[in-house]
Structure 1
Amino acid sequence: MSTQESVARETEGLTIPLLLRRNATDYGDLPALSSADDESAPTLTWSQLRAQVAAVSRGLADLGLRAGQRMIIMAPSRPEHFIADLAAANLAAIPCTAYSTLSSEQISYVVNHSAAPVAVLAGGAELQRWLPVLDELPNLEHIVVLDASAIPDGDDRFLSFAGLRERGEALHATEPEVFERVTDEIKPDDPLSMIYTSGTTGMPKGVVLSHRNAIHEAVAVRARHGTPMHASNIAYLPLAHIAERELSIYLPIVYAGHVHTLADPKGIVAALGKVRPDVFFGVPRVWEKMVAGLKNMLAGVPEERRNALIGANELLQQGYKLRSEGKEVPPELAERIAETDRTVLAPVRQMLGLDRLLLASSGAAALPLEVLYFIAGLGVEILEVWGLSETTGAVTANSASSFKAGTVGRPIADVEVRTGEDGELFVRGPIVFLGYLSEDGSIEPATDSDGWFATGDIGTIDEDGFVTITDRKKELIITAGGKNIAPTRIEGLLKEHPLIGQAVAIGDNRPYVTALIVLDDEIAPAWAASKGIEAADIATLAGHPEIRAEIERAVESANDRLARVEQVKRYHLLTKAWTPESGELTPTLKLKRRIISERYAPDINALYADA
Structure 2
Amino acid sequence: MSTPTVSAPEGVLTALDATRLARVGRTRRPARRSAVIERAEPLDVQVDPAQSVTDLLVQVATESPGLPLLARPVGDGWEELGAAEVVRRVRALAAGLAASGVAPGDRVALLSRTRLEWTLADYAIWWAGAVTVPVYETSSAEQAAWIVSDSGCTAAIVEQPRHRDLLASVASETPELDPQRVWVIDDGGFGALEALGADASLAVGEAELERRRSAVTGADLATIIYTSGTTGRPKGCQLTHANFVVLSRNAVSAIPEVFAAGGSTLLFLPLAHVFARFIQVLCLAGRTTLAHTPDSKDLTRDLASFRPTYVLAVPRVFEKVYASAEQKAIEGGKGKVFAKAAAVAEAYSRAQDDAVVGGRGPGLALRVQHALFDRLVYAKLRAALGGRATYAVSGGGPLGERLGHFFKGVGLTVLQGYGLTETTAPTTVNRPGRVKVASVGRPLPGCSIRIDTDGEVLVKGPHVCTGYWHNPAADAEAFDADGWFRTGDLGSLDEDGFLSITGRKKEIIVTAGGKNVAPAVLEDRLRAHPLVSQALVVGDARPYVACLITLDADVLPGWLRARGMPVLDVAAAAKDAGVRAVLQEAVDQANAAVSRAEGIKRFAVLEDDFTEANGLLTPSLKLRRRQVVAAHADAVEELYSSRS
TM normalised by structure 1 equals 0.91
Amino acid at match of 1:179: L
Counterpart in 2 of 1:18? 55
Counterpart in 2 of 1:108? 145
Q: How many angstroms apart in 2 are the aligned matches of 1:20 and 1:582?
A: 40
Q: Is 1:181 equivalent to 2:202 in the alignment?
A: no
Q: 1:174 to 1:422 in 2, by over 3 A?
A: closer
Counterpart in 1 of 2:411? 379
CA displacement, residues 260-286 of structure 1 (integer Å, 9 cap, x when unaligned): 111113432332222221121110000
Whether contact under 8 Å (2:92, 2:197) holds in the other structure is yes
Counterpart in 1 of 2:599? 567
Q: 1:315 to 1:608 in 2, by over 3 A?
A: closer
Counterpart in 2 of 1:491? 523
Q: Is 1:86 equivalent to 2:123 in the alignment?
A: yes
Q: How many angstroms apart in 2 are the aligned matches of 1:506 and 1:106?
A: 28
Whether contact under 8 Å (1:69, 1:117) holds in the other structure is yes
Counterpart in 2 of 1:518? 550
Structure 1 residue aligned with 2:182, among 139, 143, 153? 143
Counterpart in 2 of 1:416? 448
The alignment partner of 1:383 has SS state of strand
Q: How many angstroms apart in 2 are the aligned matches of 1:137 and 1:78?
A: 26
Alignment of 1:251-262 (within 5 A): 251-262=282-293
CA displacement, residues 444-503 of structure 1 (integer Å, 9 cap, x when unaligned): 995334221111111111122111101111111111112111011111121121100100
Instruction: Give the structure, 1 or 2, with the largest relative contact order (CA under 8 Å, sep 6 or more).
Output: 2
Q: Which moved more, 1:279-288 or 1:180-189?
A: 180-189
Q: How many angstroms apart in 1 are the aligned matches of 2:254 and 2:283?
A: 16
Q: Is 1:209 equivalent to 2:248 in the alignment?
A: no
Counterpart in 1 of 2:532? 500
Structure 2 residue aligned with 1:400, among 414, 432, 446? 432
Q: How many angstroms apart in 2 are the aligned matches of 1:27 and 1:334?
A: 46
Q: How many angstroms apart in 1 are the aligned matches of 2:125 and 2:477?
A: 23
Whether contact under 8 Å (2:457, 2:491) holds in the other structure is yes
- Unpaired runs of 5+ residues, structure 1, are 150-159
Q: CA deviation at 1:341?
A: 7.5
Alignment of 1:227-246 (within 5 A): 227-246=259-278
Q: 1:280 to 1:476 in 2, by over 3 A?
A: same
Amino acid at match of 2:196: R
The alignment partner of 1:43 has SS state of strand
Q: 1:401 to 1:350 in 2, by over 3 A?
A: closer
Q: CA deviation at 1:204?
A: 0.4
Counterpart in 1 of 2:465? 433
Whether contact under 8 Å (2:95, 2:204) holds in the other structure is no
Whether contact under 8 Å (2:159, 2:184) holds in the other structure is yes
Q: CA deviation at 1:46?
A: 1.4
Q: Is 1:54 equivalent to 2:85 in the alignment?
A: no
Whether contact under 8 Å (1:16, 1:215) holds in the other structure is yes
Structure 2 residue aligned with 1:267, among 275, 298, 315? 298
Alignment of 1:415-494 (within 5 A): 415-438=447-470, 446-494=478-526
Whether contact under 8 Å (1:37, 1:263) holds in the other structure is no
The alignment partner of 1:480 has SS state of coil
The alignment partner of 1:547 has SS state of helix
Q: CA deviation at 1:350?
A: 4.1
Q: How many angstroms apart in 2 are the aligned matches of 1:21 and 1:445?
A: 39
Whether contact under 8 Å (1:324, 1:403) holds in the other structure is no
Q: CA deviation at 1:313?
A: 2.6
Whether contact under 8 Å (2:161, 2:187) holds in the other structure is no
Q: CA deviation at 1:312?
A: 5.1
Q: How many angstroms apart in 2 are the aligned matches of 1:589 and 1:370?
A: 21
Structure 2 residue aligned with 1:161, among 163, 175, 190? 190
Counterpart in 1 of 2:158? 121
State how many pairs are aligned.
599
Amino acid at match of 1:99: Y
Q: CA deviation at 1:132?
A: 2.3
Whether contact under 8 Å (1:518, 1:574) holds in the other structure is yes
Q: CA deviation at 1:359?
A: 2.7
Q: CA deviation at 1:93?
A: 1.2
The alignment partner of 2:46 has SS state of helix
Amino acid at match of 2:550: V
Q: 1:395 to 1:326 in 2, by over 3 A?
A: farther
Q: CA RMSD in A?
A: 2.8
Q: CA deviation at 1:136?
A: 2.2
Q: How many angstroms apart in 2 are the aligned matches of 1:59 and 1:445?
A: 40
Q: Is 1:197 equivalent to 2:227 in the alignment?
A: yes
Q: Is 1:607 equivalent to 2:639 in the alignment?
A: yes
Q: Is 1:35 equivalent to 2:66 in the alignment?
A: no
Give the share of equivalent positions with the same residue, in percent: 31
The alignment partner of 1:108 has SS state of helix
Whether contact under 8 Å (1:438, 1:444) holds in the other structure is no
TM normalised by structure 2 equals 0.87
- Unpaired runs of 5+ residues, structure 2, are 1-18, 26-40
Q: 1:263 to 1:130 in 2, by over 3 A?
A: same
Q: CA deviation at 1:608?
A: 0.9
The alignment partner of 1:492 has SS state of helix
Whether contact under 8 Å (2:382, 2:389) holds in the other structure is no
Whether contact under 8 Å (1:195, 1:240) holds in the other structure is yes
Counterpart in 1 of 2:314? 283
